Structure 1
Amino acid sequence: MELQTQLKQLADKIHQLKDKIETEESTKHAFVLPFINLLGYDTFNPTEVVPEYTADLGIKKGEKVDYAIVQNGEPIMIIECKNWKENLSVHGSQLFRYFHVSKTRFALLTNGIQYQFFTDLDEQNKMDEKPFLEFDVATLKDSAVNEIAKFHKSNFDINKILDNASSLKYIKEIRKQIDSEIEKPSNEFVRLFTSKVYNGRLTEKVMEEFTELVQKAFGQLIGEKINERLHFALNKEVIIQEKDQIEEAEANRLNTTEEELEAYRIVVAILRRKLSTSRIVYRDTQSYFGILLDDNNRKPLCRLHLNGGKKYIGLFNDNKVENRQSIETIDDIYNYENELLETVGLYEVE
Structure 2
Amino acid sequence: MDFQTKLQELVKRIESLRNSVQTEEATKHSFVMPFISLLGYDIFNPNIVIPEFTADIGKKKGEKVDYAIIQDGKPLILIEVKNHTENLDNHDKQLERYFTVTESKFGILTNGIEYRFYSDLDKPNKMDGKPFLVINLLNLKDRDIKELERFSIENIDIEKILNMANKQKYIVQIKKIFKQESIEPSDDFIRFFATKATDRRLIQPVIEEFKAYIKIAFSEIINDMVQDKINSLNTQLSVEIDNVIEEDVVNNDGIDTTEEELEGFYIVKSILAEKISLSRIIARDTKSYFGILLDDNNRKWICRLRFNTSQKYISLHESEKEEIKYTISKLEDIYSFRDKLISIVERLEK
Which band: TM-score by shorter chain? 0.5 to 0.7
> Mean Cα displacement is larger for which, 84-93 or 240-249?
240-249
Q: Which residue of the partner structure matches residue 127 of structure 1? A: 127
Partner of 1:237: 237
Taking CA–CA contacts closer than 8 Å with sequence separation of 6 or more, which of the two structures ends up with the larger relative contact order?
1
Name the amino acid aligned to 2:216: K
Letter paired with 2:202: L
2:97 & 2:130 partners in 1: Cα distance? 14
Aligned equivalents of 2:37 and 2:166: distance in 1? 26
Partner of 1:182: 182
1:146 is the counterpart of 2:124 = no
Amino acid at match of 2:113: I
Q: Aligned equivalents of 2:91 and 2:182: distance in 1? A: 31
Structure 1 partner of 2:257: none
Q: Percent identity?
A: 46
Q: Which residue number corresponds to residue 171 of structure 2? A: 171
Q: Which residue of 1 aligns with 2:81?
A: 81
Larger radius of gyration: 1
- In structure 2, C-alpha distance between the alignment counterparts of 1:76 and 1:121, rounded to whole Å: 15
Cα 1:247–1:211 shift into 2, 3 Å:
same
User: Kindly tell me: are residues 210 and 27 of structure 1, through their superposed partners in 2, closer, same or farther at Cα, counting changes over 3 Å?
Assistant: closer
Matches within 5 A, 1:191-230: 191-230=191-230
SS of 2:89's equivalent?
helix
* Compared CA separation, residues 197 and 109, structure 1 to 2 (3 A): closer
Structure 2 residue aligned with 1:70: 70
In structure 2, distance between residues paired with 1:236 and 1:139: 24
Distance 1:223 1:125 in 2: 43
Helix, strand or coil: the match of 1:20?
coil
Rounded to whole Å, the distance in 2 between the matches of 1:223 and 1:214 is: 14
- Structure-2 residue corresponding to 1:348: none
Question: Quick one: which amino acid aligns to residue 120 of structure 1?
Answer: D
Query: Any gaps of 5 or more consecutive residues in structure 2?
Result: 253-294, 297-350
Distance 1:87 1:206 in 2: 38
Tell which deviates more after alignment, 177-186 or 95-104.
Answer: 177-186
Post-superposition shift, 1:69? 0.7
> How is 1:313-332 mapped onto 2 (pairs within 5 angstroms)?
none
Distance 2:113 2:218 in 1: 33
Matched position secondary structure for 2:200: coil
Opposite residue 163 of structure 1, the aligned amino acid is: N
2 CA distance for matches of 1:56 and 1:75? 14
Q: Matches of 2:211 and 2:201 in 1, distance apart?
A: 15
Counterpart in 1 of 2:262? Answer: none
Deviation at 1:46, TM superposition (A): 1.2
Distance 2:87 2:187 in 1: 33
Gaps of 5+ in 1: 253-293, 296-350
The equivalences for 1:1-350 within 5 A come to 2-246=2-246
In the TM superposition, what is the alpha-carbon distance from 1:246 to its structure 2 partner? 4.0
Match for residue 258 of structure 1?
none
CA shift, 1:31, in A, is 0.9
Q: The residue matched to 1:173 in structure 2 has which SS? A: helix
Aligned residues: 254
Distance 1:184 1:67 in 2: 39
Separation in 2, partners of 1:188, 1:90: 27
Question: What SS is found at the alignment partner of 1:19?
Answer: coil
Residue 61 of structure 1: SS of its match in structure 2? coil
Backbone CA RMSD of aligned residues: 2.2
TM-score (norm 1): 0.67
For residues 203 and 81 of structure 2, what CA distance do their matches in structure 1 show?
A: 53
Moved more, 198-207 or 7-16: 198-207
Question: Residues 24-76 of structure 1: CA distance to partner in whole angstroms, max 9, x if unpaired?
Answer: 22221111110001101111111111122121112222222121111111111
